[in-house]
């Protein structure tokens, strides 16, 4: 099993947000997590990635590393990233003074070094990253701008998917990657994610809306409410939520 979350509890500023989450993800699976505002969807993503503002107060999160289950909660956020955990941010932050190219190459090499595959210098990295940029239809000039500096909302989201493509994570959480995207941008982002699906990695889509799931077909859909998964099912569950809302389930 790639990720196994058991009875996970977490708080932010002493306020309980996750109140007993259970979730299992196998390699090759795509899971969608839906739920009303404030249900804990984003918190779950951030806790798995290791955000320092959240305190885990109970439960276990194990991640398979080299065929062994490892306690993910013992690792720092950067260690989790180097092991193949990726979080596509809902609000990607700007990092002035660091070009996108420098940022991507440093990240790539940090992971490569840790995972034991060859690091790349700029001459090898450039064609590699340009190929990935085609997937999300980003122009080359974005490589030479500072990270997310002056990017539109849609460009920032595409840049997140570009990072995912470059880092090729084993488990990716996409936190409301569809929010703020027009339909064309949504298709581009969805196509990028679909290209990155493989039998070896897992993807978790955190979203409010069914429309993302028209383009990325999940294997499982979970409904999160008040810090717990209250219902799980197949893609049909998302359709029912879209037409009937959350009231029938709560």
Reading the block at residue 13, the tokens are 């500023």
Least distance in angstroms from the C-beta of 160 to another protein: 10
Please pick, from the candidates 27, 28, 77, 235, the single residue that binds another protein as defined by CB under 8 A.
77
Reading the block at residue 239, the tokens are 């359709």
81 binds another protein (CB under 8 A): yes
Please pick, from the candidates 7, 24, 65, 106, the single residue that binds another protein as defined by CB under 8 A.
106
Q: Which stretch binds another protein (CB under 8 A): 28-36, 143-151, 222-230, 240-248?
A: 143-151
78 binds another protein (CB under 8 A): yes
103 binds another protein (CB under 8 A): yes
d(CA 244, CA 110): 46
114 binds another protein (CB under 8 A): yes
First to last CA, the chain: 30
DSSP β-bridge partners for residue 32: 205, 221
Angle at 107 between CA 81 and CA 135, to 5 degrees: 95
Please pick, from the candidates 4, 146, 168, 194, the single residue that binds another protein as defined by CB under 8 A.
146
110 binds another protein (CB under 8 A): yes
Please pick, from the candidates 76, 119, 140, 244, the single residue that binds another protein as defined by CB under 8 A.
76
105/241 with CB nearer another protein: 105
Cβ neighbours of residue 221 under 8 Å, at least 6 residues apart? 31, 32, 34, 213, 232, 233, 234, 235, 237, 238, 241
Phi and psi, residue 244, nearest 5°? -115, -5
d(CA 176, CA 239): 18
Interface with another protein (CB under 8 A): 49-53, 76-78, 80-82, 86-87, 89, 92-93, 95-98, 103, 106-107, 110-111, 114, 146, 149-150, 163, 167
């Amino acid at each position: 099993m790639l990720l196994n979350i058991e009875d996970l509890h977490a708080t932010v500023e002493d306020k309980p947000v996750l109140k007993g989450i259970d979730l299992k993800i196998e390699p090759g699976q795509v899971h969608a997590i839906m739920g009303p505002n404030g249900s804990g969807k984003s918190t779950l993503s951030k806790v798995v990635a290791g955000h320092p503002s959240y305190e885990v107060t109970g439960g276990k999160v194990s991640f398979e590393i080299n065929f062994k289950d490892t306690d993910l909660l013992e690792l720092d956020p950067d260690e989790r990233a180097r092991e193949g955990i990726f979080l596509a941010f809902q609000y990607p932050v700007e990092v002035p003074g660091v070009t996108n190219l420098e940022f991507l190459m440093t990240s790539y090499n940090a992971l490569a070094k840790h995972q034991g595959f060859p690091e790349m210098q700029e001459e090898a990295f450039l064609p590699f990253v340009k190929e990935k940029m085609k997937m999300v239809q980003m122009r080359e000039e974005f490589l030479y701008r500072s990270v997310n500096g002056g990017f539109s909302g849609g460009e920032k989201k595409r840049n997140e998917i570009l990072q995912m493509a470059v880092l090729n994570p084993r488990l990716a959480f996409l936190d409301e990657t569809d929010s703020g995207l027009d339909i064309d941008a949504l298709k581009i982002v969805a196509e990028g994610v679909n290209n990155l699906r493989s039998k070896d990695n897992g993807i978790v889509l955190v979203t409010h809306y069914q429309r993302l799931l028209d383009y990325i077909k999940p294997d499982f859909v979970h409904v999160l409410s008040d810090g717990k998964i209250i219902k799980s099912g197949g893609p049909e569950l998302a359709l029912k939520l879209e037409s009937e809302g959350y009231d029938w389930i709560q």
